[in-house]
Structure 1
Amino acid sequence: MYTTINETGQLNNYATEPEMYLASYPAPEQQRRYMLQAGLAALLLSAVTLITLVVS
């Protein structure tokens, strides 16, 4: 943590910034997993929406 003191004696604390890095493109296996998760999320949302329409 980086701390400075101004002329009135107040302390200012600054968090240390993490080192930046570039993200790597997901592998084909990860892409398939993401598509599966998106499909399951869409199915869940559709089911919840249909249930609320039927109940109301």
Structure 2
Amino acid sequence: MPYTEEDGGRLNNFAVEPKMYAAEPPTKKEQRNYIIFGALAAALVAGVVAVAIAASNVS
């Protein structure tokens, strides 16, 4: 544990910080996959909403 000692003799315990890294932009293949998964997610949400509307209209 990384402890530091202040002037009055008090100890402070600081959390270990994770290593930093620079994010890389997505590749063309990853971009295509994001579009496909987004479209599938939108279709799933639209389907769930359609089922909810159909079920709420049942007498």
TM-score by length of structure 1 reads: 0.76
* Unaligned stretches of 5+ residues in structure 2: none
- Residue number in structure 1 paired with 2:44: 44
* Unaligned stretches of 5+ residues in structure 1: none
Greater gyration radius = 2
Is 1:24 matched with 2:29? no
In structure 1, C-alpha distance between the alignment counterparts of 2:31 and 2:54, rounded to whole Å: 35
TM-score by length of structure 2 reads: 0.73
| Identical positions, percent | 39
How many residues align? The count is 54
Q: CA deviation at 1:4?
A: 5.4
Structure 1: 4+ residue segments shifted above 6 A: none
Q: CA deviation at 1:15?
A: 2.2
What whole-Å deviation, never above 9, does each CA across 1:1-26 have from its counterpart, x for those lacking one? Answer: 3345787x8x7543211111110000
Q: RMSD of aligned C-alpha atoms?
A: 1.9
